[in-house]
Structures are given as C-alpha cells and as structure tokens.
Amino acid sequence: MCGSFYDVGIYFMLYSFIGWLLEVVYAFHEERRFVNRGILAGPICPIYGFGTLLILNIGSLLKLQNPGFLSNIIFIILLTTALEYLTGYILETFLKVKAWDYSNEFCNIRGRICLKFSILWGLLGCFIIYGLHPIVAQFMNEVNEDMKIIAAFMLLGFILMDMIKAILPRIASMKELKSRVSLPVHIFKV
C-alpha cells in the first residue's frame, strides 16, 4: 500500500504537483503560453493526487493477485475515468467550475470524460505503478520519519489554505446569487 499517514500526504502532494506539471505542459503545447490549469492558486491538481493514491492502493491489490498487465490497465482506465467524471460533475454542480471540457473529443460523455484521455490515464496509471512509484517509495523509505512528519504537515497546510482561498469565494458568490434570485415563499402558496 502507500505507507504511513505522512507518506500518503507527501505522495498526494507530489503526484498533485506532477499532475499540475503535466497539465501546464499540455496547455503550453496546445496554446503556446503558460496556463495555470488547476482551480487552485498553487502548483497542484488534487485530482491527480487522489487518482494516484487510488491507483496505488488498488494497484497493489491487483499486483498481489497478478491478473496481468492488460487486466490492470483496463481496471485503471475504468477507475480513473470514474474519478474524472465524478470530479467533473462535482466541480460543475457545486462550484460552477468547468475545469476541463472534452466536448470536442471523440466518444465523450457530457464533456467530462472521453476515450482518448481515459486511455491516457490508464497508461499513466500503469507507468506510476510499475515505473515511477517504486522509485519514489524507495526514496521515501530513506527519509527520516521526523522529516516526513514536518513535510507532510507543511504540504497539507499549504493545500488546505489554497483550497479554502479558492473555494470560499465561490461558495460566497453562490450564496449571494441565491439570495438575489430567491422568491418569497408566499408566491407559491395556493
């Protein structure tokens, strides 16, 4: 699995940062300029952190059962696609944010997921399980536990402040909008 609570916090931040880097590089390739692709101010995309932790935990179970690489990649595709759809739905429904839009992609569902990126997420997940994470985990095993604790709390504090800073104004503006549009209840009485 992923190790101690502190390891999990550090892995979450590391893979959220790597995800942000991937998004920025992809956006730069597409738009030829820097674009901060996250909904947060800092250089992190939490969906990558959550997705990676899911893949690592479920992936370690899959490796124990050893169903084979093809079975693993199919499972990772399904897992990451479900996570991406759910995250897109939550962001759009509750925060009124459309963080990505696959509407112009082949085989998309409501612009939240598409075949091309589902396959890419599956390949990326396999790369993480079989390539990147074993190296990262080996490095983490060498790090002093006290350093992990300090790093985990600092990193998690950073992301919590960033999330609060990013989400509270959206919630406040939604409440303000709701209060402007709400109609008196007596209008609906018969």
pLDDT in tens, 118-131: 999 999 988 988 89
Task: Mean pLDDT check: name the lowest of 12-16, 38-42, 125-129, 184-188.
Answer: 184-188
User: pTM for this one?
Assistant: 0.79
Judged by DSSP in three states, 103 sits in: coil
Q: What is the DSSP letter of 162?
A: H
Count of domains observed in the chain: 1
Whether the predicted pLDDT of 176 surpasses 90: no
Best CA proximity match to 136, nearest among 11, 9, 5, 6 = 11
Whether the predicted pLDDT of 185 surpasses 70: no
Instruction: Kindly report the backbone phi and psi dihedral angles of residue 109, in degrees, each rounded to the nearest multiple of 5, phi listed first.
Output: -120, 110
Whether the Cβ atoms of residue 117 and residue 105 lie closer than 8 Å to each other: yes
Task: Please compute, for residue 173, the number of CA atoms within 13 A of its CA located in the half-sphere on the CB side.
Answer: 9
Residue pointed to by tokens 């999990």: 8
Host domain of residue 126: 5-188
**What CA–CA distance (Å, rounded) separates 114 from 103?**
8
CB-based contacts of 123: which residues, under 8 Å, 6+ apart?
Answer: 73
Best CA proximity match to 37, nearest among 22, 56, 53 = 22
Mean pLDDT of the chain: 83
Whether the predicted pLDDT of 8 surpasses 80: yes
Whether the predicted pLDDT of 184 surpasses 60: no
Whether the predicted pLDDT of 88 surpasses 70: yes
